[in-house]
Chains A and B, each alone.
Chain A
Amino acid sequence: MKKVLSALLILCLVFTLAACSSSTGSKDTATTDGSLDSVIKAGVLRVGVKEDVPNFGLRNTATGEIEGFEIDIVKLLAKEILGDENAYELTPVTAKTRGPLLDNGEVDLIIATFTITDERKLTYNFSTPYYEDAVGLLVKKDAGFKGLADMNGKVIGVAQSATSKEAVNKVATEKGITVSFSEYATYPEIKAALDSGRVDAFCVDGSILGGYVDDSTMILPDRFSPQQYGVTSKLDSLALTEAVDGYINEWLKDGTIEGLITKWGLNY
């Protein structure tokens, strides 16, 4: 028993040390807040993007490049900050990996359909939203659903880290029905689960859903709680955050972002 206890103590100690070292690490960067300078010095803007979301960030299998609305924003930012629209480095992220990648400094920014919430603002900085979208439901045509109201007791597939779960839950409660949720790490996995009948609906932000419609599926007219996407940065990278926010606001005013949204067919 003594041995077990001492092993546990050692374990606790290791975790505490890990916690301490990471906290001192973040303090160091905070005092020097050279977030913008370090990007300029490195000569490359490292951004985490989605590679499985059609029109936002999708890997083109023919060229091997990731393309989409969010990649165009990366290019614009690289041009403004570094004077070269190709001075960027993309890292594919999922809802699960984007937080850690930002924290450990692998990427400077995350532009990956990251929804802004008050809770999340405690952990990261978000820019002014560059896109607003509502949650939608993709269902099989032959299932005969006309809206969320028909889905009492059904299973809805959502992405981990997505806010769609709470959004649907809220509306479901208002309508007096109950639905259960299954979470998956990536969108293709949810689509596979919908195809195999594991879930009755694929629920995610409408614009993302658009890329997954095929002959046997359709998007229900129901739309819930608009989600706002922001460019995400580390809480202590203030200089970088301010610079990015400035550009986003500028592009929102002069119609640059509007133009990109039209270019990628994202204005519903």
Chain B
Amino acid sequence: MKSSNPFALWRWEKMFGEWQMFGEGFLRTIEVAALALILALVLGIIFGVISTSNNKVMRGIARVYVEFFQNTPLVIQVFFMYNGLAIAGLRLSVFMIGVLGVGIYHGAYVSEVVKTGITSISVGQVEAAKSQGFTYIQYMRYIILPQTIKIILPPLTNQAVNLIKNTSVLAMISGFDLMYMADSWASSSLDYGPSYVFAGFLYFMLCFPLATWARKYEERLKRQDTARIPFEPSEEAVTC
């Protein structure tokens, strides 16, 4: 039983005997990531659309949001929400901070992705829609946004994967997520080897299927396109 090898077999056995701890953290990470992803998508679509509008004030607001959250570290944002807001009297639960902090942070990135997606659709489409009497909301909803999905799906998946991994910032503010549990187990039992390898494996299990699914989905959309369009567009042109 006595061994200085951080990967010794008995350390693994000891850790899997306490698997509930990791299960709890894993569940917390999934919950936070799922809600934060929804928030990031909602914010991203709203601000992405706003930043392509003709209204200068609206564009300004979107710009400030994106620049502020993209150019300050997530760690500081979360630490501020945890301690700063608490001193000011607003005590959010760590779960809420996880959802809001990570969601708002990634919303800024999603917004940029959505914006580039919209601007990549040719102006002719908007003009055609307008000539048919579509309002701004209508042509965004029915003409532009559906077309952008294919373009933005790969970078969007990157964001989703990053978002999942970034929920590990909760470990810093005692957020009881997977990373926190791994830290806690690693430092209390000194079995940091199995603990971090296993946590890494669980994060991989979350991110890898998502990335794979998005790749498959994108390929399917592309196939549907090539079926409809008589001219064969080259593969590379569509892949970002």
Contact = CB atoms under 8 A, between A and B. Distances in A.
Interface of A: 4, 7, 11, 15, 18-19, 22-23, 26, 95-96, 99-100, 103, 119-124, 157, 160-161, 165, 182-185, 189, 192-193, 195-198, 234-236
Contacts of A193: 82-83, 174
Interface in B1-48: 1-8
A23 B209 CA distance: 32
B194 to A, nearest CB: 9
B4 A103 contact: yes
A23 B8 contact: yes
Contacts of A119: 189-190
Contacts of A236: 4
B83 A198 contact: yes
B105 interface: no
B61 interface: no
A196 B184 contact: no
B192 interface: yes
Contacts of B174: 157, 182-184, 193, 198
A95 B4 contact: no
A46 B79 CA distance: 33
Contacts of A95: 187
21 contacts: A4-B212, A11-B204, A15-B7, A15-B197, A23-B5, A23-B8, A95-B187, A100-B192, A103-B4, A119-B189, A160-B184, A160-B187, A161-B188, A184-B172, A184-B174, A193-B82, A196-B87, A198-B83, A198-B86, A234-B4, A235-B4
Interface in B177-198: 180, 183-184, 186-190, 192-193, 197
A192 B172 CA distance: 12
A100 to B, nearest CB: 6
Contacts of B3: 26, 122-123, 235
Nearest to B204: A11
A18 B7 contact: yes
B192 A99 contact: yes
A103 B196 CA distance: 15
Contacts of A196: 82-84, 86-87
Contacts of A234: 4
Closest 9 CB pairs of A and B: A161-B187, A182-B174, A19-B7, A235-B4, A196-B86, A196-B83, A160-B187, A23-B5, A123-B190
Nearest to A103: B6
A195 B87 contact: yes
A140 to B, nearest CB: 12
A190 B7 CA distance: 30
A99 B190 contact: yes
B56 interface: no
A15 B193 CA distance: 10
A232 B180 CA distance: 25
Nearest to A161: B187
A180 to B, nearest CB: 10
B190 A120 contact: yes
Given A11-B204, A15-B197, A235 B2 contact: yes
B192 A165 contact: no
Nearest to B171: A185
B4 A185 contact: no
Contact of B6 (A22, A121, A165, A197): A22
Given A120-B190, A123-B4, A185 B172 contact: yes
A96 B187 contact: yes
A11 B197 CA distance: 11
Nearest to A120: B190
B201 interface: yes
A197 B8 contact: no
A228 B187 CA distance: 17
B4 A197 contact: no
